[in-house]
Amino acid sequence: MSGPTAPHDRVRPFTRVLAVVILPFLAAAVALLYLLPDSTDATFAWTIQPPFTAMFLGSAYVGGIVFFAHALRTERWHRVKYGFPAVLVFAALLAVATFLHFDRFHFGHISFITWVTLYLTTPVLVLVAMLLNWRADPGTLDAHDYAIRRGPRLAIAIVGIVASAFGLVLFIDPPALIEVWAWPLTPLTGRVVGAILTLPGVVNVWLLVDERWSAFRWIFQAELVSLLAIAVAIAVRAGDIAWQRPAGPVFVAGIGLSLVAFGVFYVYCERRSAAAGPAVVPSAVRE
């Protein structure tokens, strides 16, 4: 059940158009990377080895489809607000990685042209969407919302921050980690994996300042779908994991534990939200 929609808590048309534009490219990337990870030498912007790396990147795009589908259909900005900074950082890092490793790409290939165009424009367009919408959030609870307790918020935020810290180290200085990473990486794929790892941290850190479950429900759906896609990729491409390195089993265990922990957190918050009484919405934000 949805509560009254504050006039100034609406997703702007520009943001909906952006979601419409991005979704087909995400779907195409999932098809090329997640479903055809062995064919990147012929179908993608650059050759990705091992195939698990392609599926790992594809898993991020699977979560992106869920997120932008929600951004397209929702009326309330605050329900997708905290996903946009994560997309901005991710897209900006991939743009930087592209130009640092330009020689690794398939010049002239349609996938290369699409990749470069997207990562030159997406950070700017996402930033514009954020600037247009950011102040639209009145900070009020939805009807039947749940105010998440400080302890769980802190724990989930710390998990994300740790993941982002590893991601930033891997992005800034790939040689520092690629020799001990959970599967073989090149400097380019190391930076791509690092960019992916920043996503949960840039999302989850907002739990430190916002207790509304309605502001995270749909973003956590995207995170859970992405984690599930990574778990399937591990099962399918288990031979790509460097099990002899300590990081191999640790990474696999970390994905499993994160999937369980985030799933329990999601179900718990959903049940508390469903059991909550209607939120009191100030008259100033009622239609």
Q: What are the CA-CA distances from residue 176 to residues 26, 166, 190, 220 (Å)?
A: 30, 11, 10, 31
Average model confidence (pLDDT) across the chain:
92
Give per-residue pLDDT as tens, 7-59: 578 999 999 999 999 999 999 999 999 999 999 999 999 999 999 999 999 99
Domain range list for the chain: 13-281
* Confidence at 135, pLDDT banded by 50, 70, 90: confident
DSSP 8-state code for residue 83: H
State yes or no: pLDDT of 2 exceeds 60: no
State yes or no: pLDDT of 6 exceeds 70: no
Residue 26's nearest CA partner among 57, 61, 53 is 61
Q: Which residues have a Cβ under 8 Å from the Cβ of 130 and sit 6 or more positions away?
A: 84, 85, 88
Give per-residue pLDDT as tens, 70-106: 999 998 999 999 999 999 999 999 999 999 999 999 9
Q: Which two tokens stand for residue 147?
A: 């105010």
Q: What are the CA-CA distances from residue 17 to residues 11, 23, 71, 76, 192 (Å)?
A: 11, 10, 10, 15, 27
Give per-residue pLDDT as tens, 161-205: 999 999 999 999 999 999 999 999 999 999 999 999 999 999 999
Calpha distance 146→276 (Å, rounded): 7
